[in-house]
Amino acid sequence: MKSRKKTKAILKRLLLGSWCVLMLVLTFFLIKYIGKLSNAGTYANAGSIDTVSDAYRKQNTVTKAPVTEAPVTAVPTPKAEFLKEYEHLGEAKEVFAYESGIAYGLRYPVYEDEAWSGAVKAAAEELLAAQLEELSGVKAGERKLVIDYEDGTVGELVSVLFRIEREIDGVTESEKEQWIFNKKKGETVDAETLFADRAYVYIAEQVNEALAKETDEVTGAELSDAPAGEAEETEQELTGNRETFSSYLLTADGAEFYYEVNGEEESVTIPYAALHTYMAVTVNGNVVADSIRELDPDKPMIALTYDDGPHYINTPRLLEILEENGARATFFVLGERTLYTESNKNTVKMIYESGNELGSHTHTHVDLATLSAEAIVAEITNARETIYELTGEYPTFVRPPYGSYNDTVKKYANAPLITWNVDSEDWKSRNTDMIVEEVMSMAADRRIVLMHDIHTCTVDAAEILIPKLIEEGYQLVTLRELFYYKGVELENGRVYHNGYN
């Protein structure tokens, strides 16, 4: 029974086996047949193309007709050609696309820091969208747009200069747009107002001087064979305004300003040391009020100066009084006192950011006239560096303690030395009324007043004094403003008692 069952089972398996084989063979032929069918279909289609090719060609010819015959139809720039032409733009983030007659490419930098990277991406995309919108409104055939960039950073500032190139029917136009980011504040900086108007006057002076020199050299070389009168043609005076130097890039070496001479793009790099007094945001990201305000140069000016600070209570109070009255002053701070506490450091920053001026009163308030050259340099340098670290700007002036100096001090000060011609005697009287009386009786145009913001009585006096002086027609200014508006030339090592040259 066992063997019969086994035989039956084997038979069953065999039958099943041959059934499977049969099915496989059948499937094979079926696939082959279907394949042949579909091939036949392909060939049949190929044949049909031939038959409709005339109509197809006709259609094709219409599309490819010269633009003169069909001016409404855009003739596209082949995408591949466009991509090939601009593939060198690599590295940073790129966008290449082709849409309804406009081929465009955008490239912008990608930074490690997400905040500024995200901000530059948004700016780039916004720029692209605006440009595309403008271009799509142009009724023309071939349109091409390329936005590339250059970037630079200095301290806390990131600078990107986008170069925009548009090509409409073979005619190229270009423009530049800049973007500045303050890493410290985490915000974009208005590139239009980063430099005060006076910065452009200064830059133009530098460029014009260089251009004049170049012209002189050219004139000199040509004198022998060129006819007289031809030489002057090359000289071109640039106007010191924003339009002349419409774009710039902040590099590590200085701000690189672009301008045009005879239709050619040129650039000049101006170091920050020469520009910092004109900058609304310092290279280390501090936001400052314009350090030289628009004032009336013909109206009398008085420079109030406050020594021996900062004082964490009196100085901020004084800053408020100045602010309320639209007045400014100069604060000659001590390096050592500044570093003494965090609130003192913050006070120095407050002075700076409010647009008032910081000067160096040395590091330890020592009589410089008693020191060696080395010690003088150390006293002045330490205070300078302290102020720089906190504000990103070196102070312009030094006030020697006790107004004491000698030839060695003048030689090694490396700055103009400022004394005074009005002493409020606040250090002696310590009396509010007496301070007010003293200063009011001595008030006159271009005078420099000595006071001390470490005394509460001095700040009490300021509350009365400042509006009183303004009422009498004085503009209360920083030393920088005084010398600027009164046309006083500044020299290192020279002593200034007042605002006269």
Residues engaged in binding Zn ion (CB under 5 A): 307-308, 401
φ, ψ of residue 308 in degrees (nearest 5): 75, -5
Q: Are 176 and 303 a contacting pair, CB within 8 Å?
A: no
Among residues 167 and 308, whose Cβ is nearest to Zn ion?
308
φ, ψ of residue 107 in degrees (nearest 5): -135, 135
Among residues 247 and 386, whose Cβ is nearest to Zn ion?
386
Instruction: Give the 3-state secondary structure percentages of the chain, helix then strand then coil, rounded to 5.
Output: 45, 20, 35
Q: On the CB side of 153, how many CA atoms lie within 13 Å of its CA?
A: 13
Among residues 401 and 416, whose Cβ is nearest to Zn ion?
401
C-alpha distances in Å from residue 69, one per residue of 116, 221, 475:
50, 57, 72
Alpha carbon distance 124, 131 (integer Å): 11
Alpha carbon distance 5, 491 (integer Å): 123
Q: How far is the CB of 336 from Zn ion (least distance, A)?
A: 12
Q: How far is the CB of 461 from Zn ion (least distance, A)?
A: 17
Among residues 194 and 368, whose Cβ is nearest to Zn ion?
368
Q: Are 426 and 435 a contacting pair, CB within 8 Å?
A: yes
Q: How far is the CB of 361 from Zn ion (least distance, A)?
A: 6
Q: Are 420 and 449 a contacting pair, CB within 8 Å?
A: yes
Alpha carbon distance 277, 491 (integer Å): 16
Q: How far is the CB of 365 from Zn ion (least distance, A)?
A: 6
Q: How far is the CB of 218 from Zn ion (least distance, A)?
A: 54
Helix (H, G, I), strand (E, B), or coil: what is residue 101?
coil
Q: How far is the CB of 452 from Zn ion (least distance, A)?
A: 7
Q: Which two tokens stand for residue 58?
A: 């006709």
Alpha carbon distance 451, 459 (integer Å): 10
Q: How far is the CB of 179 from Zn ion (least distance, A)?
A: 45
Q: How far is the CB of 158 from Zn ion (least distance, A)?
A: 40
Among residues 167 and 307, whose Cβ is nearest to Zn ion?
307
Alpha carbon distance 339, 109 (integer Å): 39
Among residues 308 and 438, whose Cβ is nearest to Zn ion?
308
Alpha carbon distance 91, 258 (integer Å): 25
Q: How far is the CB of 277 from Zn ion (least distance, A)?
A: 24
Alpha carbon distance 295, 323 (integer Å): 16
Among residues 395 and 401, whose Cβ is nearest to Zn ion?
401
Q: How far is the CB of 160 from Zn ion (least distance, A)?
A: 45
Alpha carbon distance 246, 243 (integer Å): 5
Q: How far is the CB of 357 from Zn ion (least distance, A)?
A: 16
Burial class (CB in 10 A: 0-12, 13-18, 19+), 4: exposed
Q: Are 155 and 279 a contacting pair, CB within 8 Å?
A: no
Residues 6+ apart with CB under 8 A from 239: 204
| ∠ Cα 483 485 491 (to 5°) | 25
Q: How far is the CB of 401 from Zn ion (least distance, A)?
A: 5
Among residues 43 and 402, whose Cβ is nearest to Zn ion?
402
Q: How far is the CB of 449 from Zn ion (least distance, A)?
A: 14
Among residues 307 and 453, whose Cβ is nearest to Zn ion?
307
Residues 6+ apart with CB under 8 A from 490: 396, 416, 483, 496
**Nearest to Zn ion by Cβ — which residue?**
307
Alpha carbon distance 332, 386 (integer Å): 13
Helix (H, G, I), strand (E, B), or coil: what is residue 112?
coil
Helix (H, G, I), strand (E, B), or coil: what is residue 244?
coil
Q: Which two tokens stand for residue 77?
A: 């720039």
For residue 246, give the DSSP letter.
Answer: -
Among residues 204 and 304, whose Cβ is nearest to Zn ion?
304
